[in-house]
Amino acid sequence: MAIIYTPQGNVRLSLYGDIWRYRELFYFLLWRDIKVRYKQTSVGIFWAILQPFLMMLIFTLVFGSLGQAALVGIPYPVYAFSGLIFWNLFSRSITSASESMLANKSLIKNNAFPRIILPFVSILINLLDYFAAFTVLVLLFIFFRIQLPLVGLVMLILPLILTVFLSVGIGAVFAVLNIAYKDVKFLIPFLLQLWLFLTPAIYGGGFVSEQYRIVLAINPLTGIIQIVHNVLLGLPVDITAIMLSLALCVGIGSGGLLFFSIKEKKYLDIL
């Protein structure tokens, strides 16, 4: 049976406070997972660059001619890659967070600590991949002779924080569900593939028929990607979509943490 750690007071505030109080453990696990992750691959962090780059090439071949028609003065590869690096951060974070509890089974069974640290650590590791891939985006700007806005780079902090918070909420839910329901690990890749094509990372909202735009509107990643394309490429934004995405990210992130705090005791007994 797992040793249970019980947060005190307001659940969401307590979870963040616990991470701070256990920050030494947090740093240890983060550094441990970084070393394990990149020692076990022959190409290391280069894969973080290669994957979105190959996806960008494929989507350029498939959607490039259609996409370019709607992007006056903006090369489609730059448009696609700028969205894909945020999508990759999100999808990898969900996948790694969902596996974080099972991957640390022995640690959970023998130690009392805030379990939310595990999904957080697995998500933050993916920021290394994000920053590595972002260097390629900078090179694409240079290659296509597009001026990279310095103010835009600073403003990317907002979509980055929203992406991480959204990932924490969803990843925390899958982390506990993955303990009891083994089919979850097969469901996640399918859901993420479907989610990608419902996210305007590789196409503009104008490609979607009016009757289906409600799907984009309720996608919390829509506003995030629109902010990215706006601050980097100067593309117009839908303020309503952005505000809705902000609300959804906060709601889903908070709801996911609340679900985790309520259900972790029940599911940890199964470990």
User: What residue numbers bound the domain in which 223 lies?
Assistant: 11-268
* Entry field: residues in the chain: 271
Mean pLDDT of all residues in 100-112: 87
Residue 151 burial by CB count (10 A; 0-12/13-18/19+): exposed, middle or buried?
Answer: exposed
Q: Which two tokens stand for residue 238?
A: 């839908």
Report yes or no: 85 and 137 within 8 Å, Cβ to Cβ.
yes
Could you tell me if residue 4 is inside a domain? no
pLDDT tier at 1, thresholds 50, 70, 90:
very low
Closest CA to 87 of 61, 51, 57: 51
d(CA 81, CA 225): 11
Could you tell me if residue 63 is inside a domain? Answer: yes
Q: What is the pLDDT of residues 112-148, one digit of tens each?
A: 888 899 999 999 999 988 998 999 999 999 999 988 8
Q: What is the per-residue pLDDT across 164-198, written as a single tens digit (0 to 9) for each?
A: 999 999 999 999 999 988 889 899 999 999 999 88
Residue 5 lies in a domain: no
pLDDT at 67: 54
Alpha-carbon distance of 119 to 98, in angstroms, equals 7
- Within a 10 A sphere around the Cβ of 88, how many other Cβ atoms? 20
Taking CB atoms within 8 Å and a gap of at least 24, the contacts of 129-134 are 129/45, 129/48, 129/88, 129/89, 129/92, 130/48, 130/85, 130/86, 130/88, 130/89, 130/160, 132/45, 132/46, 132/48, 132/49, 133/48, 133/49, 133/52, 133/53, 133/85, 133/88, 134/85
Does residue 6 lie within any of the structural domains?
Answer: no
- Give me the number of domains the chain comprises: 1
- In tens, the pLDDT along 50-79 reads 778 888 888 888 776 655 545 667 788 898
This prediction's pTM:
0.86
- Residue 3: what pLDDT? 45
**Residues 71 and 203: beta-carbon distance below 8 Å:** no
The pLDDT of residue 71 is 62
Neighbours of 38 (CB within 10 A): 16
Q: If we measure between CA atoms, which residue out of 98, 83, 94, 35 comes closest to residue 203? A: 83
